[in-house]
Structure 1
Amino acid sequence: MSSHALDKDLDDLAATVRAALVREIDASGAWAADPVWREVFAAVPRHLFVPYYYVGVVGGYERRWGESPDPRARERWMAGAYADMPLATRLRDGELLSSSSQPSLMAMMLVALGVEDGNRVLEIGAGTGYNAALLAHRLGDDDLVTTVDLEPEITEAARQHLAAAGYHPVVVTGDGARGVPERAPFDRIIATCALPSVPHAWLAQCRPGARILTPLGTGLVALTVRNAGQAEGRFLHTPAYFVPLRGGTGLEPEPAPLGGVPRRAREHELFRFLLALSLGSLDPQEVYGMWEREGHPERERYGVTVSGEREWAWLDDPEGPYVWALPG
């Protein structure tokens, strides 16, 4: 079979598996509140952003590659590129440095971000560039989208992937915790890496009424910005696990010993969320007491407030009784 015929077979497979992914996300209800994202995911080719990725196998990782000389290996790569799962895209000494997030989670986050026509959007964590491409396609204007990452090799690869797909948002190499002041003000900020608290620099780069969506602990918090020093919002219902932000201003606290906390709590996903959110502020035994008294609260009952130099998390009410400081 000629290489042209092989390419056509791969293009046909790309169209088939992309359509299947869109149907799968559709069935999950992820974009029910903003169906325009269905057209966006149907249009943007994810496989151009993951020319290779790694899948876990016994004893480590196996590389899947779109340029493999084996046609069956290329088909496996293409099918995996449109699976509704996160893909490991960069490893160093066996440690995951960067990944392409699960598409249905990306869809849910983009809907929760509440993007509107004309919004200026900052993405923290460029990854493969796929999320920036989705935003650029949705907004129809590359200049409205800025994406930042600390690692030059990540930003350079993201820029190449974006160009291959026909998108040219602004890609910046820098510390995401500092934002991108020269591209401000922003109407929306979305982070695709985990942080211990919300950087104050982001608020200062937002217009009043802007929305910030960021992973915190093992959840996603959606904040409304009042002004350069004030923001508040609650967590979404979904769990979210992201690679930590590299750079930033400080180290996360060491996990505290869990002596005295029953095993059923330690293994409960909602307790682990609260434990991660209160790390460095509350003793695990205090956390367990609150969690039991309040009936194992769902994520939506928790929120975060930023006011001047202070930043705190809370259960039910920003004024208490359950409040605790987040690392500054």
Structure 2
Amino acid sequence: MGAHTLDHGLDDLAAQARAAMVREIEASGAWEADPVWREAFETVPRHLFVPYYYVGVLGGFERVWGEDPDPRSRERWVRGAYADAPLATRVRDGVLVSSSSQPSLMAAMLTELEVRDGDAVLEIGAGTGYNAALLAHRLGDDRVTTIDLDAEITESARRHLAAAGHHPLVVTGDGARGVPERAPFDRIIATCTLTTIPHPWLAQCTPGARILAPLATGLIALRVRDAGHAEGRFLHTPAYFVPLRGATRPERAPEHVEGLPTRARNEELLRFLLALTVGGLDPREAYALWEREGHPVRERYGVTVSGEHARAWLDDPEGPHTWPLP
């Protein structure tokens, strides 16, 4: 039994589970600003993109897969494939290297991407191919390009996409360099955490293009003015993704929380600021700023990209609180 030739019982279960997932996303308000996305989530079968995934268990991971000889295990696989939760899809030496994001977060990000019919979109981080399928469902295969550094990931994404009837361009390469041969793009969406905004992206964008990317533990939405300039603010949504791997990605220093008050260490918004200021601000200075400014929410921060340089800021790009990104 191949994962795409489900027996009828599982087919029905997948349809029910998908409908339940869509209701849950609807209730979260994720696509309120652009309800056209509802149809993509109703149509694209997520289970085809996760023929297996891993569930954390004591001491490691357990593999849940669609061709398990036990029918109850296959049912568990289908239900899990449509849970509104992230799924671990690749584990190497006990470390998570790739995952399929939580569907409601994907819906929120796709809505925030503000696509219009005819837009050309570049996705950084192919993952399972599910996000590219949602984009291709809405915009058409020829308007979507997705890139990943790992040939194993791109190969399986291509296979999953074909099984679901989609054939956007899937490229194996360093996402930080973009895909110049497919430029220009009207939208760039990253599904992996960045430490800075790679400047090649700007040159591959049309003026007015929108870039949406996880940075630190937030989502930055940038408007591109031209090949040398982009600026924007963070959305309120927290976002935790697997880091971008590639030649141009500087290794991020660990978050130094020693020396900070214990009660502050687990404050999500402080950890966001610490991640955003790595290498640009001493953790104690960051903490002092956080206290002085009344524990700022994510939307008060932004990023400006100018030429080769990118910097983050609080409240005002020209204000007193600004620091370089790596």
TM-score (norm 1): 0.97
From the superposition, tell whether residues 322 and 80 of structure 1 become closer, same or farther in structure 2 (CA, over 3 Å).
same
Deviation at residue 257 of structure 1 after TM alignment: 3.6
The CA distance in 1 between the partners of 2:110 and 2:256, in whole Å, is 36
Report if the CA contact (8 A) 2:255-2:274 is conserved: no
Q: Kindly provide the CA deviation profile for residues 185-224 of structure 1, in whole angstroms up to 9, marking residues without a partner as x.
A: 0000000001100000000000000000000000000000
1:167 corresponds in structure 2 to 166
Q: Does 1:117 align with 2:106?
A: no
The CA distance in 2 between the partners of 1:256 and 1:98, in whole Å, is 22
Deviation at residue 253 of structure 1 after TM alignment: 3.6
Deviation at residue 67 of structure 1 after TM alignment: 0.7
Alignment of 1:70-85 (within 5 A): 70-85=70-85
2:312 corresponds in structure 1 to 313
Amino acid at match of 1:302: Y
1:28 corresponds in structure 2 to 28
Q: Secondary structure at the match of 2:166?
A: coil
| Aligned CA-pair RMSD | 1.1
Report if the CA contact (8 A) 1:146-1:169 is conserved: yes
Amino acid at match of 1:258: V
Report if the CA contact (8 A) 2:132-2:144 is conserved: yes
Report if the CA contact (8 A) 1:178-1:248 is conserved: no
Q: Secondary structure at the match of 1:78?
A: helix
Amino acid at match of 2:101: S
Amino acid at match of 2:233: R
Deviation at residue 251 of structure 1 after TM alignment: 2.5
Alignment of 1:282-293 (within 5 A): 282-293=281-292
Report if the CA contact (8 A) 2:25-2:104 is conserved: yes
Q: Secondary structure at the match of 1:104?
A: helix
From the superposition, tell whether residues 310 and 30 of structure 1 become closer, same or farther in structure 2 (CA, over 3 Å).
same
Amino acid at match of 1:11: D
Report if the CA contact (8 A) 1:315-1:322 is conserved: yes
From the superposition, tell whether residues 71 and 277 of structure 1 become closer, same or farther in structure 2 (CA, over 3 Å).
same
Report if the CA contact (8 A) 2:255-2:275 is conserved: no
Q: Secondary structure at the match of 1:324?
A: strand
2:201 corresponds in structure 1 to 202
Q: Kindly provide the CA deviation profile for residues 80-102 of structure 1, in whole angstroms up to 9, marking residues without a partner as x.
A: 00000000001110011110000
Report if the CA contact (8 A) 1:194-1:217 is conserved: yes
The CA distance in 2 between the partners of 1:6 and 1:282, in whole Å, is 54
TM-score (norm 2): 0.97
Alignment of 1:241-260 (within 5 A): 241-255=240-254, 257-260=256-259
From the superposition, tell whether residues 8 and 324 of structure 1 become closer, same or farther in structure 2 (CA, over 3 Å).
same
2:54 corresponds in structure 1 to 54
Deviation at residue 275 of structure 1 after TM alignment: 0.3
Q: Kindly provide the CA deviation profile for residues 38-97 of structure 1, in whole angstroms up to 9, marking residues without a partner as x.
A: 111000000000000000111111100101111100000000000000000011100111
| Percent of paired sites with the same residue | 76
1:89 corresponds in structure 2 to 89
Instruction: Give the unaligned 5+ runs of structure 2.
Output: none
Report if the CA contact (8 A) 1:124-1:191 is conserved: yes
Report if the CA contact (8 A) 2:49-2:128 is conserved: yes
The CA distance in 1 between the partners of 2:146 and 2:111, in whole Å, is 18
2:144 corresponds in structure 1 to 145
Report if the CA contact (8 A) 1:256-1:283 is conserved: no
Report if the CA contact (8 A) 1:258-1:284 is conserved: yes
Deviation at residue 256 of structure 1 after TM alignment: 5.5
The CA distance in 1 between the partners of 2:207 and 2:48, in whole Å, is 36
Q: Kindly provide the CA deviation profile for residues 143-179 of structure 1, in whole angstroms up to 9, marking residues without a partner as x.
A: 1000000011100000000000000000000000000
The CA distance in 2 between the partners of 1:290 and 1:204, in whole Å, is 34
The CA distance in 2 between the partners of 1:250 and 1:124, in whole Å, is 13
The CA distance in 2 between the partners of 1:51 and 1:143, in whole Å, is 25
1:323 corresponds in structure 2 to 322
Alignment of 1:293-308 (within 5 A): 293-308=292-307
2:218 corresponds in structure 1 to 219
From the superposition, tell whether residues 113 and 248 of structure 1 become closer, same or farther in structure 2 (CA, over 3 Å).
farther
The CA distance in 2 between the partners of 1:115 and 1:272, in whole Å, is 31
The CA distance in 2 between the partners of 1:162 and 1:317, in whole Å, is 42
From the superposition, tell whether residues 250 and 10 of structure 1 become closer, same or farther in structure 2 (CA, over 3 Å).
closer
Deviation at residue 320 of structure 1 after TM alignment: 1.6
Q: Kindly provide the CA deviation profile for residues 261-309 of structure 1, in whole angstroms up to 9, marking residues without a partner as x.
A: 1111111000000000000110011000100010000000000000112
